Structure 1
Amino acid sequence: MQEKKQPYGTVLIKADSILKYLSSTDKPQSLQQIAKETELTSSTALKILDTLQLIGYVQKDEETKKFRLGRSIIKYANKALNQTEIKDLAQPFLEKLREQTTETVHMGILDQSSIIYITKLESFNPVSLYSRVGKAIPLYCSAMGKSILADQTDEQIEVYLNNHTLVKKTENTITTKEGFMKEIHEIRKNGYAFDNEEHEADIFCVGASITVNGKNYGAFSVSVPKYRITDEFITQIIENVLACKRGIESELG
């Protein structure tokens, strides 16, 4: 009978059991309760908690002496969701969007003052776009970027505008604060954003953000060569984009 291989670093498994327990409850927990639920001795649980607290995975209330998840692990969890899980979760909805429109579909995540492409589904039609996974584009002149900014407060957008020059990428790029805020109000009203040749000449995009309970998970868009655009086609794309947005956000809860 083959001997079962023991994992290296069993303390990590014990730490994981503590983190799992803390993530399963909304309230801070005492050392005694944590030790009981994880089947650890109080002394072992305390040593692990002290280390987790040191690296920011756990926070301790000095008055109540109770523990809860720390900001560091929450930051990493959110980053992982943005980069990996949201991509996998959204994939079937994005594929359906491409089938409906037959055009190029992008998905991106917010990275400071840019959108980073994390997915690109190529158009079924002849088209040449300079976009690629990993490329960063500005927020102010892209459908995805503007839709994410529209989910922020006026004060947050004001900070963004004060710290970023609206460089004229094409003849259609919005370069004034007044014009940009007018655009933001339209996006909030409609639930989607346009990039009318604002980032790249001859390319029209319809995009929407993915925001649930005040947290943004990124955005997606449909990109179409301007010569294929008609009023009827724009209406169809808008309907498809809004349906895709509802589907993804519903999956996120």
Structure 2
Amino acid sequence: MDTKYSVPALDRAHAVLSLLSEEPYKWKLSDLSKELGISKSTLYSLLQTMERLQWVNRDRNETYAVGRTVGDYGSAYFRQFDLIEEFRRLGEPVMRKLHESIQLARLDGSEVLYLAKIEAPTPVQMVSGPGVRFPAHSTGLGKSLMSEMDEEQIRLLLPEEKLPKRTMHTIDSREAFIRELEQVRRDGYALDHQEGVMGFCCVSAPIRSRGEIVAAISCSMPMHNWETTKETAIREICSLAAGLSTNRI
């Protein structure tokens, strides 16, 4: 991996966490400094910050261990796989009812990252399998995932007023996209009319954890199925998103 844009402080924090995860409550500041080759003054500031963020804990003997926040991150990492399994379990009957493919995705910066797909046995398919990325502003999934962001957050993710078009129907103005998100908030779901891929429409709804949007699902279909399937798809996708949402995470 290219290290041109690496952040030294994060590299040092990673080294500290790696050592503490192997041997908790063994290392004092001076020991860590010698072991990792980091000056005491630099390491002191780093550990103070990591302790404030609860990345590390310090006991009465001034030794360190991995903190609660790192544990939370680890739990979140494994929970995403639980969500994928639950998506497959609950989404299969929805796919069979709609006879259309169902996708699960999360937001990664200004892009939608597809996590899983339940593929309908139809001859015409949109390319949307795990690992595929699309610009968020060009998809129903992106609209769902960004629907509760304030304007400042949106402007940080989309710094340019002019947005790139994937098709002739893609929203190409940040202000128009912000207005579209207002409609998504009111409706509770998002629509995509050939904005990401020509010939395909989709309906999407957000998945929540403790009230926060953490992922989204969508049903995509060819244009020739849209008018006859749209209303049923909206109802089924919103119901599936509610079923995948939880207050436990």
TM-score by length of 1: 0.71
Which residue of 70, 86, 92 maps to 1:72?
70
Relative to 1, partners in 2 of residues 1:75 and 1:112: Cα closer, same or farther, differing over 3 Å?
Answer: farther
Deviations 1:158-187 (A, max 9, x none): 222215851011111011122111110010
Q: Which residue of 1 aligns with 2:122?
A: 125
Which residue of 164, 171, 175 maps to 1:174?
171
Deviations 1:32-89 (A, max 9, x none): xxxxxxxxxxxx98438999x9797533499xx9x9944333223323323x121112
Distance 1:70 1:224 in 2: 43
Q: Which residue of 2 aligns with 1:186?
A: 183
Q: Which residue of 2 aligns with 1:241?
A: 237
Q: Which residue of 2 aligns with 1:28?
A: none
Trace 1:19-98 onto structure 2 (pairs within 5 A): 46-47=25-26, 57-60=55-58, 69-82=67-80, 84-98=81-95
Relative to 1, partners in 2 of residues 1:157 and 1:61: Cα closer, same or farther, differing over 3 Å?
Answer: farther
Q: Which residue of 2 aligns with 1:102?
A: 99
Number of equivalenced pairs:
209
Distance 1:163 1:79 in 2: 32
CA drift of 1:194 comes to 1.0
Distance 2:174 2:162 in 1: 10
SS in 1 for 2:172: coil
CA RMSD of aligned residues (A): 3.3
Structure 1 segments unaligned to the other structure (5+ residues): 1-14, 17-43
Which residue of 189, 197, 218 maps to 1:200?
197
Task: State the percentage of identical aligned residues.
Answer: 24
Relative to 1, partners in 2 of residues 1:48 and 1:216: Cα closer, same or farther, differing over 3 Å?
Answer: farther
SS in 2 for 1:229: helix
Deviations 1:217-245 (A, max 9, x none): 31110000001111x52111100011101
CA drift of 1:99 comes to 1.7
Which residue of 85, 109, 112 maps to 2:109?
112
Deviations 1:120-139 (A, max 9, x none): 11123331322222111111
Determine if contact 2:110/2:158 at 8 Å carries over to the other structure: no
